Amino acid sequence: MELIDGNRIAAAIIAELTAEVAALPGRKPCLALVRVGEDPASVSYVRKKETTAAAIGVTGRVILPPVNITQAGLEAIVDELNADPAVDGILVQSPLPKHLDELAIFRRIAPPKDVDGLGTVNLGKVAQEDATGFVSCTPAGIMELLARSGVDLNGRHVVVLGRSLLVGKPVALLALQKKAGANGTVTICHSGTRDLATLTRLADVLIAAIGRPEFVTADMVKPGAVVIDVGINRVADATNKKGYRLTGDVHFPSVAPLCAKITPVPGGVGPMTVAMLMKNTVKARRLGAG
Ligand code: NAP
C-alpha cells in the first residue's frame, strides 16, 4: 500500500505558484475571502486560505459580515467585489447560515472571479470540457492528486460516493472527461443507491465524499483499488485536547492494507483544496478579470 501524501503534493504546487506569482508583472493577485458567522470549521478553513495566500504572495482580503446579514446585504458585498478591479478572485465560505440562499450567492459571483468554481457558468464549463473556466477546488485537487500520484483513470472504473455540487458531481464529470489522465467509466452512488457495497467493490478507483465517519469498510473495497477519502468529519474524542479528532469517510485501519494507494485524513485531499484555490486565483489574475 502506498500513502498518497496530500501535504507533499500540495507543497509542490504551492512552490510552483510562489515562483509564478513572483514572476508576474504588475500588482499581485488578490483573493477576497468572505466568511459569514463563526462556524468553527469555516474559521479554520478561511484562516488556512489566508495564510497560504500570504505565503505565495497573493493578497488576501478577508471580509467578515455579521452572522445576521441579509441576503440583499451579502449580495451587495458580492456586487462590490465583482466591480472592484483590484480583486481577482472571490470565495464565499460555505456553509452560509441557514437564512441565506447559498446557491444564489454562488451564482452572483462574476464568472471570471468565481475561483471556487461553484457558479453556473464554471460548473457548465466542466461539463463542456472548456478549460477557460475554474474547476471547483476539491474536485480539481482530487484530479491533481491522482495525476501526480501516477494514477491514470483511462479505462478504469471510478466509483464516486456522494453527488454534492461541491464534490461528487464535479469530480464525476472530471473523471469522465475525454482527455489524458481522465476518460474513466464513472458510477455515482448516493443515499438512494441500492446494494452500495456491490458497486463500490467494482471500483478500481473509489472516491468517498459523503460526510459519514469511517463509512467505507474493508468489505466494500476491491483489493488493489485506489481510494481517495474526501471526508472531513469531527468525531468526539475525550483523549484529544480539542475534544474531537478528524476522520475521513473511510475506515482507514481496515481499508488501507487492501489498497494499492490511499489518501489519509488529515493530510490527503484537504491541503489540495487550498492549493487549487490558489492556483485558480493566480489563473484569474493572469486572465485579467480584475
Ligand atoms: P454533502 O453535501 O452532505 O453530500 C453528501 C453526499 O453523500 C450526498 O450526495 C448524499 O446523498 C451522500 N450520502 C450521504 N449519506 C450516504 C449514505 N449513507 N450512503 C450513500 N450516500 C450517502 O457533503 P459534501 O459537501 O459533498 O462533503 C462530503 C464530505 O467531504 C464531508 O465530510 C466534507 O466535510 C468533506 N469535504 C472535504 C473537503 C476537503 O477539502 N477535503 C472539501 C469539501 C468537503 P443524497 O444526495 O442522496 O443526500
Catalytic residue among 88, 114, 116, 249: 116
CA–CA distance, 137 with 273 (Å, rounded to integer): 5
Q: Please tell me the predicted confidence (pLDDT) of residue 143.
A: 98
Residue owning grid cell 514572476: 23
Q: Please tell me the predicted confidence (pLDDT) of residue 288.
A: 84
Q: Class assignment of domain 137-270? A: alpha beta
Residue owning grid cell 480583486: 87
Rg of the Cα atoms in the chain: 19
Determine whether 177 is an active site residue. Answer: no
The C-alpha angle 72, 126, 119, rounded to 5 degrees, equals 0
Ligand 1 lined by 93 (C-beta under 6 Å): no
| Interval 126-147: pLDDT, tens | 999 999 999 999 999 999 999 9
CA–CA distance, 196 with 48 (Å, rounded to integer): 35
Determine whether 93 is an active site residue. Answer: yes
284: alpha, beta or left? (left if phi > 0; alpha if psi -120 to 50): alpha
Fold of the 24-113 domain: Rossmann fold (3.40.50)
Q: Do domains 24-113 and 137-270 have the same CATH topology?
A: yes
Half-sphere exposure (Cβ direction) of 8: Cα atoms closer than 13 Å: 7
Ligand 1 lined by 233 (C-beta under 6 Å): yes
Q: Please tell me the predicted confidence (pLDDT) of residue 210.
A: 98
Distance 58 CA to ligand 1 centre (A): 30
Half-sphere exposure (Cβ direction) of 285: Cα atoms closer than 13 Å: 24
211: alpha, beta or left? (left if phi > 0; alpha if psi -120 to 50): left
Whether residue 191 contacts residue 208, with contact meaning beta carbons closer than 8 Å, is answered with no
Half-sphere exposure (Cβ direction) of 266: Cα atoms closer than 13 Å: 10
List, for the chain, all residue ranges whose pLDDT scores fall below the cut of 70. Answer: 289-290
Ligand 1 lined by 239 (C-beta under 6 Å): no
Ligand 1 lined by 191 (C-beta under 6 Å): yes
User: In testing the pocket of ligand 1, which one of 116, 167, 276 has its CB within 8 Å of the most ligand atoms?
Assistant: 167
Task: Report the nearest-CA residue for atom 14 of ligand 1.
Answer: 210
Pull the grid cell for residue 162. Answer: 456522494
| Interval 252-261: pLDDT, tens | 999 999 999 9
Domain boundaries, the chain: 24-113, 137-270
Q: Cβ contacts of residue 213 below 8 Å, gap of 6+?
A: 231, 233, 235, 247, 248, 249
Q: Please tell me the predicted confidence (pLDDT) of residue 77.
A: 98
Pull the grid cell for residue 222. Answer: 476491491
Residue owning grid cell 500570504: 54
Q: Please tell me the predicted confidence (pLDDT) of residue 70.
A: 98
Distance 75 CA to ligand 1 centre (A): 27
From 272, 14, 8, select the one nearest 143 (Cα to Cα). Answer: 272
- φ/ψ of 24, rounded to 5, equals -70, 135
